[in-house]
Amino acid sequence: MKRRKFINNLALGAVGTLGFPTIVPAHVLGGKDAPSNKINIGQIGCGRIARTHDLPGTWKFDKARIMSVCDLDRHRTEETKQLVEEYYTKKTGQSNYMDVKMYDDYREMLLNKDIDAVMISTPDFWHAQPAMEAALAGKDIYLQKPTSLTIHEGRQLAEVIKKTGRILQVGTQQRSTAQFRIAAELVRNGRIGKLHTVKVGLPGDPSGPAAPAMPIPKGFNYDMWLGSTPNMPYTEIAVHPQKGYDRPGWLRLEQFGAGMITGWGQHHYDSAAWGMDTEYTGPISVEAVAEFPKSGLWNVHGDFMAKAEYANGITMYTSGGYQNGIRYEGSEGWIFVSRGEYAATPSDPTAKVRSKALDASDPKILESVIGENELHLYHSDDQHGNWLDCIESRKEPISPIEIGHRACTVCLITHIAMKVPGKLQWDPSKEHFVNNSEANSWLRRSQRAPYGTDRVKA
């Protein structure tokens, strides 16, 4: 980025006594497609989310250039290198346009001074540490949710981003989807009266079979993949498929995450907080009941019901029994929002239409226009595009780390409430439970050496 600025300054003609030419030749600048004029990006983690979400979501922008890929499973690295190079070949018509560099260890990638930013699409338990190290290496970051495995490491990450001033965008892309912003704006501007209840629909996960230990596949650094979590014998359905990119088994193991409460939960809790005006705080109490598998390898929660109370008087319920999405209930009506198709009417682009993705107790609620003097929320049409724009402008992205950490915290304390009976009192300012040592013991985990955020020198 500094080199780009230097060259651009030369192009403006400030030379004089140094003897440089007044006009810098085009081949020196390299044109708009030169690496120096791109945001050079490294991809950390080459699984399902990287291939279907982060890479396609970023490479479509001309200002971005995917220049390197990294994964602990060598065949995934090789296949993703091929995927990226084929995309650029098709886009540019040049077969040798891009030679994507492969890394087996993301720490080596972070030493590459030509890389401006990284996308982290690793398993949940490998989010906070590489994000912290990337920030300390001077890279901007797109981080998949959930932001952390524990509340302790989430706070560590937030503090590192604050200290370094890097741009970190959390992958809670519902913020860049029109209906979620519109729903939150309508609620925040009183269109359903005083908000008192929010109902969040989240599924659980099924149990699975027992699985015997298997030989570790060639080219897979399984010890590093386990990271800071305890050592355990390798078996394929505990990790990811060796062929294809279907949903991986680690998502259903508590060693590596918390299940759907974080998988879908951070999306919906983040969006709910937008409408509840609680983005920078959290509940003051939480309680939950849940079913857990009694046999088999997979052990994350199944069906569950949770209740969280907030200091502003709002009560939030979460259950798989509700429709997947968020329902805001106020004194004068309700609004429901979820993923799916949503569009404005062709005759009036500003008008809202009823759909499965955005619905209300009265159609007039959705037809309401937010006035100039009312609250207008951060508007983004694309999560990855917003990240790239903010890398250039250095403005805060639509999903910054502090908001992401707070949404992830709601997921994690709900998961703790599934484990610890009774109503738990939570202090969102101090980020701990009040007078409950058992619940507080879940706020951090021991970290297997040599991995873990506690070993990152910030």
How many CB atoms are closer than 10 A to CB 10? 18
Tens-digit pLDDT profile for residues 113-127: 999 999 999 999 999
Element (H, E) at 270: helix 265-276
Least confident of 5-14, 63-72, 274-283, 311-320: 5-14
b/e map 80-91, b = 16+ CB within 10 Å: bbebbbebbeee
Q: Is 21 exposed, middle or buried (0-12, 13-18, 19+ CB in 10 A)?
A: exposed
Structure token pair of residue 196? 């008192």
Which residues are registered as beta bridge partners of 359? 336
Length of the chain in terms of residues written? 458
pLDDT digits (tens, 9 = 90+) for 358-375: 999 999 999 999 999 999
Residue owning tokens 């497609």? 33
- To the nearest 10°, the Cα dihedral for 188, 323, 249, 304? 90
pTM: 0.90
| Residue 399, token pair as written in the block | 């999903």
What is the per-residue pLDDT for 98?
86
DSSP assignment string, 409-434:
HHHHHHHHHHHS-SPEEEETTTTEES
Which pLDDT value is given to residue 10? 36
- The percent of residues above 70 in pLDDT, for the chain, comes to 89
Query: Could you tell me which residues come within 8 angstroms of residue 279 by beta carbon, excluding any fewer than 6 positions away?
Result: 273, 403, 406, 407
Is-contact 291 303, C-beta < 8 A?
yes
CA 177 – CA 194 distance, rounded (Å): 24
Residues contacting residue 330 through CB under 8 Å, at least 6 positions apart: 187, 192, 193, 194, 195, 196
- Which residues have a Cβ under 8 Å from the Cβ of 396 and sit 6 or more positions away? 390
| CA 177 to centroid of chain Cα atoms | 14
Q: Is the pLDDT of residue 15 over 90?
A: no
Q: How many CB atoms lie within 10 A of CB 92?
A: 12
Give helix 265-276 / helix 178-188 axis angle, nearest 10°: 30
**What does the block give as tokens for 387?**
């990240």
Average of pLDDT values for 213-235?
A: 97
**Average pLDDT, integer, range 2-8:** 44
pLDDT tens digits along 282-334: 999 999 999 999 999 999 999 999 999 999 999 999 999 999 999 999 999 99
Beta strands in 301-401 (DSSP E): 304-309, 315-319, 325-330, 333-337, 358-360
Average of per-residue pLDDT values in the chain: 91
Q: Residue 383: which of 370, 363, 399, 362 has the closest Cα?
A: 399
For 27, the 3-state DSSP assignment is helix
Lowest mean pLDDT among 26-35, 66-75, 392-401: 26-35
Query: What was the pLDDT predicted at 457?
Result: 87
CA distances from 79 to 48, 123, 181, 244, 262 (A): 12, 18, 36, 10, 28
Tokens of 20: 């440089």
User: Is residue 341 over pLDDT 60?
Assistant: yes
